[in-house]
Amino acid sequence: MAILEVKNIHKSFGRTEVLKGIDFTLEKGEVLSIIGSSGSGKTTLLRCLNSLEFADKGQIVVGGETIFDADINKRPSESELRQKRLHFGLVFQNFNLFPQYSVLDNVTLAPKLLKKGTNEEIEQTALELIESVGLKEKINNYPCELSGGQQQRVAIARALALKPEILCFDEPTSALDPELTGEVLKVIKSLADKHMTMIVVTHEMTFAHDVSDKVIFMDGGVIAEQGAPSILDHPESERLQSFLTSF
């Protein structure tokens, strides 16, 4: 059974319809890349999954549990919402690390506040995660002392600390220069190798091609084409063809 089922998601901001019926499924351990030009609705889709926005129509089902259904008018309570968000992790384009906390505290803050274990356990897990993203020697540094690529790797460790079922990346390398992009993509690839279920919104075509199990091309609020990464080599739709020639 699919770990994630997204059914007929519609979302408008005022009169602008950003998502016009999105359907897809994702199996456990798969990596899905979402590509498409700016304004095609990729980020809005991720925000709907993470309950930062609420779709106007459609359902989201995670592991058989319906976490969102637009037909149910009742807005979920604050605590329900917090539970639902924990199915997903989200890594932002501009990292959004907490500037006043050290690297270690950034990673341990949420697990400690949510009482996900004893402080020792949480710190132990955090240290392992920080080591796995290659920043063991930076645990006591503050975000302002790190490069963009290092900050993004901390952000990945922070998202992983809550053990999400699905980890989402919103253009994780768009704010980085090409040199730093590589180190972040390497971390994401290593997660893929460990069969972490991931949704990556990206403009890195090579990465999408090499790492993903599935690629979705979005255009104008709809999925214009989806399938195995090979669609990037042999695009069917004209729109995807012209999109890819721009790279």
Partner 1 sequence: MKKKVWVAVLAVLIAVVLGAFIWFVYFTGYDYSMADDDTVAVGDFTVAAGADGSGSLTVKEYNNDKKGVSGVQLNAEAGDESFFMWQIDGDYEIIAGNINNEVIRIAPKSDLKVLALYNDGVNAGPANFKIVFGSLNEGFVQTLKLFLITLLGAIPLGLIISFGSMSKFKPISAPVRVIVWIVRGSPLMLQLLIIFYMPGMLFGNNIWGGDETGRFWASAVAFILNYACYFSEIFRGGIQGVPIGQHEAGQVLGLSKSQIFFKVTLMQMIKRIVPPMSNEIITLVKDTSLARIIAMQEIIWAGQAFMKSSHGIHGIIWPLFSTGIYYLAFSGMLTLLFGWVEKKLDYFKV
Q: Give the binding site for partner 1 (CB under 8 A).
A: 50-52, 78-79, 82-83, 85-86, 88-90, 92, 94, 96-100, 109-110, 113-114, 142-144, 158-159, 162
Q: Residue 63: left if φ>0, alpha if ψ -120 to 50, beta else—which one? A: left
Q: Which of residues 43 and 232 has its CB atom nearest to partner 1 in the complex?
A: 43
* Nearer residue to partner 1 within complex by CB, 86 or 127: 86
Q: How far is the CB of 94 from partner 1 (least distance, A)?
A: 6
- Work out how close the CB of 48 gets to partner 1 at its nearest, in angstroms, rounded to a whole number: 13
State both tokens at 225.
Answer: 């084409």
Name which of 95 and 243 has its Cβ closer to partner 1.
95
Nearest distance, CB of residue 142 and partner 1, angstroms: 5
The minimum distance between CB 233 and partner 1, in angstroms, equals 34
Per the structure block, which two tokens stand in for 54?
Answer: 């609420």
The alpha carbon of 65 is separated from its chain's Cα centroid by a whole number of angstroms, namely: 19
The nearer residue to partner 1, 70 or 162, going by C-beta atoms, is 162
Structure-derived torsion over alpha carbons of residues 141, 142, 144, 146, reported in degrees to the nearest 10 = 40
In sequence order, the 6+-apart residues with CB closer than 8 A to the CB of 217 are 35, 36, 223, 224, 225, 226, 231, 235, 237, 239, 240, 243
- At closest approach, how far in Å is the CB of 107 from partner 1? 10
Of 208, 109, 106, 101, whose CA–CA distance to 155 is shortest?
106
Indicate the residue among 90 and 232 with the shorter CB distance to partner 1.
90
